[in-house]
A and B are shown apart, each in its own frame.
Chain A
């Protein structure tokens, strides 16, 4: 071949900074949109993205990836995967597509912000490809669930969810909008690509890909593995930016954005990924517990990435380590209990053998979370299903928008972390969520949580039916136990065995 190697011309293609003279540098890159921390363009030209890709390589590789993912889907279309899948697994797909597809699409907007307002030219090119990636992820994760619409109305939520004020979606939007869509170019790079993608999408995507393969859902497994290969490329936009900031005396600013990003991402994944991995995925297909996965992918790998870039562990690391052991159990209990308020059918995941697994993975589970499930289980055994439904709403956090909860049992000490700001009292689930608010109250102060809206009379009638209507959930969409309570029979059988 008599064509040039890519690296021979790559640097020329990313030498595109110039000195504007018809407008000022601050007009071309408004600080509120570029977030360059007062550093001039020249400082950003040292930016060097570790994952280099050219336009022709990009379209070739991406075409091949799509050919792979779509052909796996086509080949398996007539398989009985869906008909034979465990209902818990179907719920995984519904929750994932609804919470993720259009959220990823919105990340293309954030990538475009870096492509336009980033002062580092290499970053602008990589973000242009990142913007394209996120369109791919939005589109492919709509195309795949679309064919399931005729099977189950809940799959409509793969598209519909983000048009609603369903509580989980309020939480997801609040997170995505805080970390991606309303941030300047530097904020996007640190929070979306570094904290969120380097840290957490690894978990959602690699973890789910592993579980999907175990379950035999090859379509889903190949889809999300394919997505992850894009993420691992454009996630590398943020790393070299940290280097530029640290070298120019802006370490504290970088650290703060990364700390906010990690905490906020963690909170969402505690409700989205935790229950999926430890409760919905059928027991014999679970590869690792959520905690084990977190420890391998976040604690070990991401912590190293942070330190390698010259940053520190976030100040709340101990609280974080504590929460990966506990928080998702409470979120799961809440999602199951308030199951009419979600667009999927939560799998309880607390049959006797599942409880044994939970106790093994999380010693003390039976004495804590188990005691709550005991009450629910007893009510179901007694045929009092109505007692397993909520009558009130949980207090949600004014930052993560998720129910405030702590570990039940003998050491139970539920508390919230309130803050009075300009005459209004805000409630937070934790010290870090309150800290995020305190850093920049003007980003959050005027937002109303679902509970704030309820108390303000914006949700009528003020009961579950009014709440469901407000959240856009109707019969046919609202969630119920994934296995239609079949697991209760296993409990009954076990108790009878013990009694005899």
Chain B
């Protein structure tokens, strides 16, 4: 303010100007971007009781976990769109380099025939599973009450599409070498009926129909995703290596880099809400509700991994370790 009551220019946005340090690019372009959280107003500038206003009031504002300032959330990786595409372009260059090199040395031709049959059951149907992660993350994106959370969920949705793309790519490659095995045609049936997948399908159908946004976050990021990642990425990757399928092992490792990042933002959000004991109790209650479903999914899936008797136990233990490090 100048002497005449005229607002003077600021060095940054007025909502960041009271802080003493120069804002980062992340803060400039990521913070306080949602306008559907303005106090005292309906989320959206229409009839206060239009369906979507009721939906947001009930499932977002009335959600099980509460916080007085969701906008205080910061992504520990401080990713912005510009750095996300740089990061993932680099990662994709690596993955497509793998595809290229392994194809050159005729990797698929050298696979054990029994393992090829297994891949059609325990690997290529995973595109359906990864797509459910994409859809569930897109729900978090539209429901979370701060743009800094919204962005993490959006990047997570895009990463899930990345995982699904890797599966789709490999499905096509395998179908070219093994046209008789059902690659590219049998996945939907396996996803819908094979016992290996029914636990994950049930888990994800239930996650996808969980509308309370913080329960959806807990179910997805604290329970379902760790289960998917530990079983369908890590244990599958381990099994693949033991079967001589080094490409799949390296591919799942590459995808797990994204999973680690998702865990970092999820953990930061858990830490933020854990100041309130009521939130901690609610978190624990939800984890207790969802964990058995995830365990059943892991067991069913890992039982189908050849020569991997410990996979299920290892995956379940790993999900608990994930939750422990995330503070749950």
Question: Interface on A for B, CB 8 Å cutoff?
Answer: 1-4, 8-10, 12-13, 15-16, 18-23, 27-28, 32-33, 54-56, 58-60, 62-63, 66, 70, 102, 105-106, 108-109, 112-113, 115-116, 121, 124-125, 127-129, 131-132, 135-136, 138-140, 142-143, 146, 149-153, 155-156, 159-160, 162-163, 170, 173-174, 177-178, 181-183, 442-447, 474-477
Contacts and interface: CB of A to CB of B under 8 A. Distances in A.
Contacts of B324: none
A444 B46 contact: yes
Contacts of A138: 29, 33
A139 B308 CA distance: 46
Given A105-B147, A128-B134, A160-B15, A12 B127 contact: yes
Looking at chain A's contact residues, the main secondary structure is helix
Contacts of B128: 16, 18
Interface in B233-271: none
B209 A16 contact: no
Contacts of B44: 173, 177, 181-182
Most buried by B among A22, A113, A129: A22
A308 B81 CA distance: 35
Contact of B82 (A116, A139, A183, A443): A139
B9 A149 contact: yes
B82 A182 contact: no
Contacts of A125: 161
A59 B171 contact: no
Interface string B27-62: 011101111101000001111111111010000000
Interface stretch (B99-107, B222-230, B273-281, B311-319): B99-107
Most buried by B among A18, A66, A476: A18
Interface in B84-139: 84-86, 88-89, 92, 95-96, 99-100, 103-104, 127-128, 131, 134-136, 138-139
Given A2-B104, A28-B209, A116-B142, A132 B46 contact: no
A153 B154 contact: no
Contacts, number: 251
Given A12-B127, A56-B96, A106-B36, A139 B29 contact: yes
A105 B154 CA distance: 12
A149 B8 CA distance: 10
13 contacts: A9-B172, A32-B51, A59-B89, A59-B92, A66-B82, A146-B29, A149-B13, A163-B38, A170-B45, A182-B46, A442-B47, A442-B50, A476-B2
B142 A113 contact: yes
Given A3-B100, A170-B45, A477-B7, A135 B151 contact: yes
A443 B47 contact: yes
A132 B138 contact: no
Interface in B150-207: 150-151, 154, 157-158, 161-162, 164-165, 168-169, 171-173, 184, 187-188, 191-192, 201-202, 205-206
A140 B28 CA distance: 10
A18 B191 contact: yes
Interface string B1-34: 0101111111111110000000001001110111
A474 B7 contact: yes
B118 to A, nearest CB: 19
A333 to B, nearest CB: 25
B47 A444 contact: yes
A139 to B, nearest CB: 4
A66 B6 contact: no
A18 B4 CA distance: 66
Contacts of A2: 100, 103-104
B202 A22 contact: yes
A336 B181 CA distance: 71
A192 B154 CA distance: 19
A265 B81 CA distance: 27
A359 B85 CA distance: 49
B81 A16 contact: no
Contacts of A4: 99, 169, 172-173
B198 to A, nearest CB: 9
A181 B9 contact: no
A102 B33 contact: yes
A182 B51 contact: yes
Contacts of B85: 58-59, 62-63, 66
B188 A18 contact: yes
B141 interface: yes
Given A9-B171, A59-B85, A54 B10 contact: no
B208 interface: yes
Contacts of A131: 138, 141, 154, 157-158
A37 B287 CA distance: 36
Contacts of A446: 47-49
Contacts of B187: 15
A477 B55 CA distance: 36
Nearest to B106: A2
B272 interface: no
A56 B13 contact: no
B296 interface: no
B161 A128 contact: yes
B6 A475 contact: yes
A105 to B, nearest CB: 5
A102 B35 contact: yes
Contacts of B191: 18
Given A55-B161, A115-B157, A153-B7, A447 B169 contact: no
Nearest to B80: A139
A257 B144 CA distance: 27
A4 B165 CA distance: 12
Contacts of B173: 4, 9
Given A13-B127, A18-B191, A115 B100 contact: no
Contacts of B25: 143
Contacts of A9: 165, 168-169, 171-173
B219 to A, nearest CB: 14
6 shortest interchain CB distances as A-B pairs: A476-B7, A13-B168, A182-B52, A173-B45, A115-B138, A139-B29
Contacts of A178: 46
